[in-house]
Every structure is written in C-alpha cells, then in structure tokens.
Chains A and B, each alone.
Chain A
Amino acid sequence: MKMPQFDYACPSSLEEAIQLLSDNEGAKVLSGGQSLLPLLAFRMAQPTLLVDIQKLAGMDRIEISADGLRVGARVRWCQIEDDKRLATAHPLFQFMINHVAHYQIRNRGTVGGSLAHADPSAEMPGVARVCDCDIVAVGNAGERVIKAADFFVAALETSLQEDEIITEVRFPPWPSGRRWAFHEFARRRGDFAIAGVAVFFDIGSDGVIADAHVGVIGAGDTPIRLDAVEQLLNGQRLDEELIGRARHLASETVDPQSDIHAAGDYRKSLVGTLTARGLRDAASSGAVK
C-alpha cells in the first residue's frame, strides 16, 4: 500500500492550476486527499501529476446572502460543522454534513473533493442534489455552472472535464420555517451510508405541502431525487395515511444494488423506512428545529 510515483505541483493561481491539468494528461486535482490518497495507496489510481489546490485563494469561505449560500470548494467539513450561522441559514446542509466520516477526516475532507469524487453514498452530493445546487467549475474554456441534476453521471463519475476545477457550490436560499429532516442508516457512526433520505417542504397557509424535495443517497449509482414521491406529497396534508403511501412509493421507486453490507431488497425497504421517519420528523420540525 505504497503509492505509485507521481509528480506534485502546488500552484498559487487558478489559471496555473488549470494549465497544469490540461498540459499533463492523467493529472488530478488534490484537495483534502481523503478519497484520492487511499485510491493511490491501493494503486487503483495512478495519476501522473497531482495538482494541489490548497494555495488557491478565495475557495475556503462560506458566504451567506439573500441569494443563498456560496460554499467554496476548499471548505472543509469541520468548517461547516462549526459555522453557527448555518443553524438558520441552512440547517439541512449542516446536519447532513455532520454525518460525514470522523473527526480527523472532517478536518481535511472538502466540499469540492466530495462532489468531484461523486460517491453515491456521500452526503455532499446528496445535499447538492436535493437542494438543486449549482456547481461552479472553471477550465480552459472558462466558467461553467452545472446543475446538480446534470453533474452526477454514475458512481464516481461526473460531467466535469479533465481540466475543470470546481470552485464553489451555490445553494438556493433557505426560507425560515421550512420543514426538513435527514435520516441516515450506517453500520457504524461515520461510515458511508447504507442509505440516507433527506426531505424538506414548506407548509402553505392552507396547511398543505408545497415544494416537497425528497433526495436519497446510497440507493442508486448517483444521489437521486424521488420525483414521484415529491408529486405525491405536493398539495397534500401530511398525515399517517400519506406517510404510508410515500413510504411505499419511495421503496418502490428505488432500485439499489446489493453489496456485502446490505442486499438490494433490504436497501429498498430501508429507503421507505427512512422516508417515513423523515416525513414524520419534518412535520414536527417547523421553524423550531
């Protein structure tokens, strides 16, 4: 488990970094290294050059405005965990990220690294997908704003070009009073999820659900949205009967794979269970949570 040989560069400007990526075939961005370095140790990746982006300025901030959140690609999990503003500015984001890995890894792992790595069980891709985030990437051809829905292509595969670097991710604003919940099931605390379900919605003055979002991690080869469940919920009053139907539909909609930790049928059932729990939880959350 010793890494293969590679060259290393630590440029101080984005332009330089992009140039290095396009000039060196097989070059890869290095951010927190928490996914890339294990791949190197296992010799499952053999990049010719690592372009370390730690010196690129301005990518390690969380900006909050009326337009929503702008989270720099170099923002680390521990910053999100510690940022008091997020409790109101985006509680779902903060809560989901608190499920990522362990203390040591949270000190290094980054938002951009997780998005680019695109593990279908990871929380950051999941929250980006359920919140309809925009992912901003810069390459030789300039800046691109990619919708989360278009970003994740398959397990560990995104629509990023070889020379593109993610610079930030943009979250739409989070209205106060929004109902939300996230339920994740993992074998041990900090493990990648066997499955996780994030839900949020607003309750209109008429008491019915509006703008329902239901996102799932760990049950497909990308983070997914359960459109059918969202449609079922919108315009309805949330009661046990509706939750039961949502649970059933959620379970029926997903088609997860089996692995050594959980068979596909178990995961299917789990998605239903977590959806029901999420909806119940969200119903009672409101502005107080």
Chain B
Amino acid sequence: MSARIPLVGKPIERIEDRKLLLGRGSFADDIHRDGMLHAAILRSSVGHGLIRHIDVSAARALEGVHAVFSAEEIGRPVPRIPVRLFPNDGMDPFRQPVIADGKVRFVGEPIAIVIADTPAIAEDALELIEVDIEVFPAVTSIAAAVAGPALLFESHGSNRIFGYEIRRDELADIFETAAYTRRERLYVHRHTGITMETRGVVAEWNAADGYMRCWGAVKVPFANRKILAGMLDLPEDKVEMIEGNAGGSFGVRGEFFPEDFLIPFAARKLGRPVKWIEDRREHLLAITHARDVECDIAIACDGDGHILGIRADMRMNIGAYFRTSTTIAPRNVGQFVPGPYRVPAYSADVAVIASNKSPSGTYRGPGRFEADFFRERMLDLAADDLGIDRVEFRRRNLLTEAELPKPFPAITPNPVVTELDSGAYEHVLDLCLAKANWADKQHLQGKLVDGRYHGLAVCCFVEGGAAGPRESARMVLEDDGTISLYVGSSAVGQGVETILTQIAADAMELPLDAIRVFHGSTTYVKEGWGSYHSRSTVMGGNAVLLAAAEIKSQMLAAGAGLLQCSGQEVSYENGRVIAQHGGSVGLKELAGKDIAFEATFHNSKHTYTYGSHVAHVAVDAETGHIEIVDYVAIEDAGRIINPLTLHGQAVGSIVQGLGGALLEHFVYDEDGQMLSGSLADYLVPLATDFPNIRTSSIELRPSPNHPLGAKGAGEGGTIPVGGLLANAVAAALRDFHVQPTELPLSPDRIWRLVQDAPAQSGA
C-alpha cells in the first residue's frame, strides 16, 4: 500500500456544502410535526414600566387561537434564565425572567405568548391583547444610567449592578513619575452578530414517556438542555435537544433565551407540537446585543516609548438583565487591554451598568474588539506624541518569545488563570507589513489623491480560544466498515464537520468518506459543551484523537482474536489489522465486535492565536466616506487543520469587524425605543461592500498545551478592526488633527470631526 497522505492541513472543501447547496439542509423552520401549532410573542413596546393589567380575552376568543399565556398562566415565581458562564450570586437579582412579571425593562421583552393554528393568526391575536403599562422614565445611555434617577432594579439602589477588578502588578506612582502620560475617553457602540437564519424552536411533548424533544438547538445544546430540564422540572435525560443545520451563531444565537422555555412550556401544556420562528424585527430587538462600553483610559510611558502602565476605568452597558453569557465581555474587555504587549503594570475597573436596552452577551471577539480599540488607539496617540514611528513603538512593546508564556492580569471576582501560550509576535508583524507593502506606501500617509486622503495603520492582536473544561467524542465502527463519529461540538456554519472528519480520518488512517460526523444533539454523547470561545477544533479535535486511539486498540485486540495471534503480533495500518504472519482483517470483518468508545478531552489551558492587520483607507473629507483600499491580515493559528475553512473564517470575521466599525449600530432614543429595528436601518455589510481583503494564515507556533497543536480561530479577524480603522482614518486626516474616539466611523461622524477639527489642512 502506498503511504497515506495526511488530510489535516489540506484545503478540503466543506463536506457540509453539498447537502446545503442542494437544499437538503434542515434548519429550524424546516421541521414540521403532525398537529403542530404556531407561536407569536407579544413584546413590550415600552422601554421601562410596570404592567398594571393584561387582558387577553379578545385574543383568546379569536378563531384559530388555542391559548394565550402570560406570567399569570406560567406560574410564579416565573423561572429566570441562569448565568451560564462565570455565574456569581451577586447577579441573581438581575437575571431575566422568561416572561415579564410586573416590570418591563426593555422594548422587546416578552409579555405574553399566543399559540394558534398559523403564525399569521397568532400575530393577529397579538393585536387583540390589551396591556396597560405604567410608563417609567427610561435610561439608555451609560451617562443616563449612571446618573439615574430612573432605576431598573429599585431595591438595588443603583444601575451599577456588578463590577470586576483586573490587576497586574502595582501602578504605584507610575502615573505621577512617568516621562509621558495621556488619557482619553473612548467608546465602542452597541452592535451584534446578525445571523442569516434567525432563531427558532420547535418543541414536542410526549406525555406517555414524559419526554420533551426540541429542535433548533445550536451552539450549546447540552447547557440549554440542563437549563430547560430544570425549569420544566424534568430529569435531563427526558429532554432532548436536536441540532440541525444552523445559519450562523457568532456567539449570539444558541444561548438560552425566553422562547427556549416558552415554546416547550406551551407544547407540554397543550399536548401539541409548537413552532416559533423569530422574525427579523424580533431578532434585532431581543437577540443578545454586544459592545456598548465606555473607557477612561490612561497610558504611561518612559521617554523612549516603553509602556510603563495602563489604567482603565470602564463602564459596560449590558442592557436590562444578566443572561447566560453576559459576563464574558465585561471580563474580557478588562483583561485584554494589554493584548500581545508588555504592559508591566495594569489596572482596570469594569462597572457593569444596567439600562433599558436588550440584554447583552457574547458576540465574536467579545470584549476583545472593544479592548483592542481602546489599546490600539492609545498606542498610536502615544507614538505620535512621543515622535516615535507607530511600527517602532509597537516593536518596543510587543512581548518577545522569551517572555512567553505570560499570565494575563488577574481578575476578581470569579478568578481564572490563563496565559498567552506561544507566539512570534514581532515576526508576524513583519510578515504583515511586508505583504501590505507598508514601507513603499508610507509616502501616501495623509496625502490627498483624487479628492481623498489616504491613510494606513497597523495593529497587533491576540485571540483566546479552547475554553474547557471538557469535550466529548464517541466513535462507533458500523457494520459497513465506516466509522460514525458523534461529537459534543456544535456546527454553527464554521465547518466543524469537515474539520473533525479530517482529524478522525488521519487518526484512523482512512479516507474522508469512511467517517461520518453527527454533531450537537444531546443524545449522541453523554455530555457535550458546544461551540463558543473558538473551541471546537481544539477541544473537539483532541477528543477525536483520544477516541481514535482507544478504538484502534480495541480493533487490534479484536483483530488479533480473528487472526489467531497475540496482541503483540498485530499492527494497525490504513484501516486494517495486520498480523505478522501475513494475514489481515479489514474494518468490515471487525464490525461485529462492538467496537466503540466515548472519549473525553480535558483541558483548562487556553490557546492564543495572534497576528497583525494592516488597513489602507481613503477618506473623503467632504462626505465622510471611508473606502477600504487594501486590507491585509496574517494570523498564526498554530496547527492549521484546513486552510480553506480557516480562510473563510478569517475573511468573514474581518467583514463582520468592518460592519461593526463602519455600519452596524443599535440606536435607541431616550425612551428606550430602538430606532434601528430593521435591516434598512441596522446596516450589515453586503457581499460587495468590502472586496479588498487579503488574509493568510501561517503555522509558526503550535499551541504547546495540547496534542493537536491547533489554536482557536475565527474570532481573530474581528478583534482588531475597530482600532485599526480608527487609526487609519486618523492617519489619513492627520492634517486636520482628527482623532476618532468613538465608533462607528459613520460618514456623519467623520464629517463632523473634520468640521470641528482644530486645524484645517493647508489647502
């Protein structure tokens, strides 16, 4: 037999795509069950108030309506959504009830649910529900929330509902004695991930077996099963979450939302399957939002541009409630400000602020997009002030390999120890500069060409991945000699099926089509963790390696029996067990031998992909329009399993970052009404908007923390974009002394910065 060429590392086209392109995917709305009813949700049209009375009688009386439920029917105390990640008792009073009971705290909060024969009838019935709400003053901006007097949780006495302290070493008197210091107030606006497929739940109750089955699960089916089982008072093994195809997650979709309780509740109550498909307006109003953080930041350097310390005082506006993943961004924004740089002393206080907006949580690069905006802005400002070239300034402060691993600043409460694992930070910076023709383009900085000012900027970033604690994979040798691979990882469109197939095929020395992956559903493995924190390749991939090693030894034992020799006299090669005496058996012959194993990979160490981005922009100072002339990104993701899927992740991630930096913005008015409640007003990048993106991934420093060596990827592209774009615009408009301190870089904002600029260009 010829030597097998490994599949890991090859640009293999996504296994998922054929089925999807042929229209054979199965998304939440593709599920149809006999006797199925449809739900619609009445949502608060008031940002802040007290429900005095709900009259559902007219809605109930409408033909085709089966039931209307509000807090009354759901039963008190109304279940409240738990904090999944880094929960803390201090958050308990601020958790979201699955349906408003008494107070409403944001526009979009569920008040009642209608179950009817069709979605349209259910919506007709919503219009017949009369809700009497006593309207309270709302707070939406951070300043208003901090100032009060309107309080979301009166008994707490303040809209500051939680806080984190992040420290590295002592700042002591650094800011009093440093040769150079600068402080700024910076802000990253509210936006989030817009998934192509909106959320959806189909629930079916089997009364005889006391069994609840839910479709539409994605991202974290096992965690959601646990939450739902608790709320429905069912054992976990009586709740099943089925993951079909998913039109995106981006960290946003797949967390536990009110509807993840309301729909199963209705299905059980009525004894009929119930479907709910979120519409786009609901998605914009009530999906997890993100960012929305203000930072007073100060940097201290010595006269040569070495950073001595950074101090940050941040306020993150998380909206109305803590939900499952709300803790991540305020933690990350505090911990990631130093990034790949040597910041010897660091101190950050992050205040978690409640306001009358949709609750926030994880979105691609949570807290890191914001932290990188704060840091990279300050680096360019400091470099300019000190008269040091912006690249040189970064070189002086990037961590060297000798300084790695490097622990992150410590965070309390809920401390977690993590460290930057490995990387050649400056080397990748150089590769990126070379690819972007940085040196040759310097003469363009600030130059007016054909009516537009050109500017370039460069940033360095790190991306965290591989969240523990465990992930599972089960391999089963089937009768036909193929291997079924059941994984706890979730497919959210990132190509995890392909990746895990490649890893499994190599581990088993088999072709791709000998492996079939089943993912995400809660019946496949005993325990699964899902897809977040760029973890599926690392955690799921290592679990596959463990399972493969075990079933190979099972095959050897079984093969030795069939070949009538001892375990020492057989070896495994390309799907065959071969005996020293020359005989061999293939997988088909081994199939009857109950060969199967479920492995669990444990890991508490994170991986840190890192890299650099360069943006070249042209700014029309009269209209405020920013064109991306060129965008170059390089990241080192450790071991690359599939360059094609990684490339797709990188490009998509950058485009999403550009959307956040330039276009996407949830705007609320003072009363808590959302003004960007449709895709005509909430602007996501279109396929043709950013054609000039060049990204590449390299394998320089595999993660030393686990056998596969891969590092989490997929979020890195987004992380540096905000800071990078703002710096590029500042470079372009340097003659105007324009320094953006807020995102998004909308045309109106850029124009205003030019108008208000302290000095006009010489022209």
Contacts and interface: CB of A to CB of B under 8 A. Distances in A.
B748 to A, nearest CB: 5
A3 B689 contact: no
Interface stretch (B118-126, B524-532, B550-558): B118-126
Contacts of B689: 188-189
Nearest to A46: B127
A2 B748 contact: no
Contacts of A102: 686
Task: Specify which of A43, A191, A261, A269 lies most central, judged by the most chain B CB atoms within 10 Å of its CB.
Answer: A261
B123 A2 contact: yes
24 contacts: A1-B279, A1-B281, A2-B118, A2-B119, A2-B120, A2-B123, A4-B123, A185-B623, A188-B683, A189-B688, A189-B689, A191-B683, A192-B680, A194-B747, A260-B681, A261-B681, A261-B746, A261-B748, A262-B747, A262-B748, A263-B748, A266-B752, A269-B622, A273-B622
Contacts of B625: 185
A262 B744 CA distance: 13
Nearest to A272: B622
A258 B280 CA distance: 25
Interface string A267-283: 00110010000000000
A187 B747 contact: yes
A266 B120 contact: no
Interface residues of B, number: 32
A187 B686 contact: no
Interface string B668-707: 0000000110101101011011000000000000000000
A4 B279 contact: no
Contacts of A175: none
B175 interface: no
Interface in A179-214: 185, 187-192, 194
B467 to A, nearest CB: 35
Nearest to A192: B680
Contacts of B663: 187-188
Contacts of B119: 2
B751 interface: yes
Contacts of B683: 187-188, 191
Interface string A113-156: 00000000000000000000000000000000000000000000
Contacts of B665: 260
Contacts of B752: 263, 266
Contact of B686 (A2, A190, A266, A269): A190
Contact of B280 (A1, A185, A189): A1
B120 A3 contact: yes
Interface string A25-52: 0000000000000000011000000000
Given A1-B279, A260-B681, A269-B622, 6 more contacts: A2-B123, A3-B120, A187-B683, A187-B747, A260-B675, A263-B752
Contacts of A189: 686, 688-689
A104 interface: no
Interface in B700-748: 746-748
A189 B625 CA distance: 12
Contacts of B279: 1
Contacts of A65: none
Interface string B750-763: 01100100000000
A42 to B, nearest CB: 7
Contacts of B748: 261-263, 266
Contacts of A263: 748, 752
B676 A260 contact: yes
A85 B361 CA distance: 55
Contacts of B51: none
Contacts of A192: 680
B757 to A, nearest CB: 14
Contact of B124 (A5, A188, A191): A5
Contacts, number: 63
A44 to B, nearest CB: 11
A42 B282 CA distance: 11
A43 B678 CA distance: 13
A189 B689 CA distance: 8
Contact of B667 (A43, A260, A262, A269): A260
Interface residues of A, number: 24
B751 A266 contact: yes
Contacts of A273: 622-623
Contacts of A270: 623, 751
B744 to A, nearest CB: 10
A43 B622 CA distance: 39
A185 B747 contact: yes
Contacts of B622: 269, 273
A269 B623 CA distance: 8
Contacts of A3: 120
Contacts of A269: 622, 751, 755
Contacts of B667: 260
A5 B623 CA distance: 44
Contacts of A43: 123, 127
A3 to B, nearest CB: 7
Contacts of B675: 260
Contacts of A187: 663, 683, 746-747
A260 B675 CA distance: 7
Interface string A214-237: 000000000000000000000000
A260 B674 CA distance: 11
A40 to B, nearest CB: 11
Contacts of A266: 624, 747-748, 751-752
Contacts of A4: 120, 123-124
Contacts of A261: 681, 746, 748
B681 A42 contact: no
Nearest to A102: B686
A47 to B, nearest CB: 15
Contacts of A188: 663, 683, 685-686, 689
B691 to A, nearest CB: 11
B124 to A, nearest CB: 7
Nearest to A263: B748
B191 to A, nearest CB: 13
A45 to B, nearest CB: 14
Nearest to B669: A260
A194 B623 CA distance: 11
B125 to A, nearest CB: 11
Interface in A245-268: 260-263, 266
Listed residue (A187, A263, A270) with the most chain B CB atoms within 10 angstroms of its CB: A187
A42 B120 CA distance: 12
Nearest to B663: A187
A120 to B, nearest CB: 15
> Which one of B119, B124, B751 has the highest number of Cβ atoms from chain A below 10 Å of its Cβ?
B751
Interface string A1-15: 111110000000000
Contacts of A194: 747
A266 B624 CA distance: 10
A279 B427 CA distance: 51
A260 B673 CA distance: 13
Contacts of B124: 4-5
Contacts of A185: 623, 625, 747
Identify the interface centre among A3, A5, A185: most chain B CB within 10 Å of its CB: A185
Interface string B425-458: 0000000000000000000000000000000000
A199 B17 CA distance: 49
Nearest to B120: A2
Contacts of B678: 42
A269 B685 CA distance: 26
Contacts of A262: 747-748
Contacts of A260: 665, 667, 675-676, 681
Nearest to B752: A266
B611 to A, nearest CB: 28
Contacts of B747: 185, 187, 194, 262, 266
A189 B676 CA distance: 19
Interface in B314-351: none
Contacts of A191: 680, 683
